[in-house]
Chain A
């Protein structure tokens, strides 16, 4: 791909030449420990030009200014673009009052400013990675000896990441970012690739393209969905996940204030979610996913459940109401439907999982509903309760301590492209699963082969086959390489 990275010298000179011509103004926040100013500057300015503006605004001499961005000192000869400084980002400023002005930059040259322009004087630095690597100039910090080959060579610099979460203006950028992220996390990559749905999507490049954009902007929600679907297919994993969640929840409870937070979370999130879901779908459709037609649609209530609980010693299939915890009430139905609860938000009952959940009439009708009205899915995804959920999550101190300020609201706008995409995806989902027999049957041949090869753990074999979509070789690798972690 001939896409120019910002590090290509040819492009660099180009930028310089066009510096005067181009006039995209960006607003950069300049922050000192005491002060903060927003400065408008042409996006291809040099650092020196930027400092000119700053010196006016902060009433300090230009050579007293030291600019820091993302852990690097900005040298006068650099350009803003070189460091990935874009609209809306923040640069730190130190105004040197004492004698040694700008000591941070030139004197310490290669060492303290480990940016691309090592050991250079005022000339424009060539920031290409080649010069960064193994620079024999005796620069202080050792250059990265184990620089991985740039698989995505020519795909643009990381400055694209500055747009993370800020809108998917440039598709190529997004794709690069996603690829980059996936490439560097092989676990996640294999997880995604192994999903047969993904595999069938790969054969359709158009869909693929749209998918990536869509995925990227709605990643976490989709992730939740996909994870849940995945879980639904794998009962063992499901239970594990449930246990983890329950454990996490009980941990949360034991933290001071944790119980309240949990309750808050429940009432803020669960209630609106359930009632919204009920509104849109009319009587909890997820309970129908268990393959039975008994739409119990029970209200999750905050009071004690006074109805008789199902007979635990009754016939086997009535004991299937599992995994309700927290304050959700259980239904008295003795079928295999499960009401949504704190830890089981979609009300998926473990017992129904092995029965080809996606073949159930409930699921089919849900799919149909959604594909007929992609707006539905879109609404579901961007519905208020999602936003509330995020807000609640960010307010929860335990979770908020994990990260920075609360996330902004999810993209609420309906996008025709997204709708179409959703439709296609769901069709494929529904279509792809419509005639799928159970894994044991599908993979019967492979299972036989595997056990003939000496893999005697039938359960593990089956899991591996499911994960690899029936690919024996991949399954073998999986079986050989799997380590508990």
Chain B
């Protein structure tokens, strides 16, 4: 049988906006199939969440940076207007990185390029991959990091 990808595509052909839940179900499936190189992962925070709003994400810190080998846990919230508007993203695991609020882990949408210039073809995966990419940037990779395993306490 056909996957949601093709459904979404055929809807695009008709010029119909892909409904939010279609999209999110696609992303859910992708997350379970482990698409990509294995350095990010995402899934529903609560399997029973029928609104498909709250997601957890994981980023594995890239090698040759101060984030190396650490596992960063994030919360991603896809609101009702997603994917027309970007999700809100928050680090749960403490991290020192430009654009991430030091005290609560909130990702500042204005500082992260793809959040600032969001397109509805972006996805949770893209956001996580982008954050990971930014970890490798010169301005971030050498930042001293808090001890491993700490989390923001909100």
Which positions in A face B, CB cutoff 8 Å? 7, 29, 31-33, 36, 66, 68-73, 84, 88-94, 96-98, 100, 103-104, 107-108, 111-116, 129, 132, 140-142, 144, 147-148, 150-152, 157-159, 161-162, 164-168, 180-181, 183-185, 187-188, 216-221, 223-224, 227, 241, 244-245, 247-248, 390, 393-394, 399, 401-408, 410-411
Contacts and interface: CB of A to CB of B under 8 A. Distances in A.
Contact of A220 (B6, B26, B48, B149): B6
Interface of B: 1-16, 19-22, 25-26, 28-35, 37-39, 41-52, 54-58, 60, 63, 69, 71, 73-75, 92-93, 121, 148-154
A71 B57 contact: yes
Given A184-B21, A402-B9, A402-B121, 7 more contacts: A72-B43, A84-B32, A94-B69, A114-B92, A147-B49, A148-B50, A404-B35
Given A7-B48, A158-B48, A167-B1, A108 B151 contact: yes
Given A71-B43, A407-B5, A92 B73 contact: no
A92 B41 contact: yes
B20 A185 contact: yes
A405 B6 CA distance: 10
B14 A227 contact: yes
B1 A165 contact: yes
16 contacts: A31-B37, A31-B38, A70-B32, A70-B44, A72-B43, A72-B58, A93-B38, A94-B60, A103-B149, A107-B149, A140-B151, A166-B1, A181-B22, A184-B50, A241-B14, A402-B5
Contacts of B75: 114, 141
A184 B9 contact: no
Nearest to B35: A404
Task: Please name the 4 residue pairs, one residue from A and one from B, whose CB atoms are nearest each other, closest first.
Answer: A70-B43, A90-B34, A244-B15, A165-B3
Given A68-B71, A217-B2, A144 B46 contact: yes
Contact of A68 (B41, B51, B148, B154): B41
A129 B44 contact: no
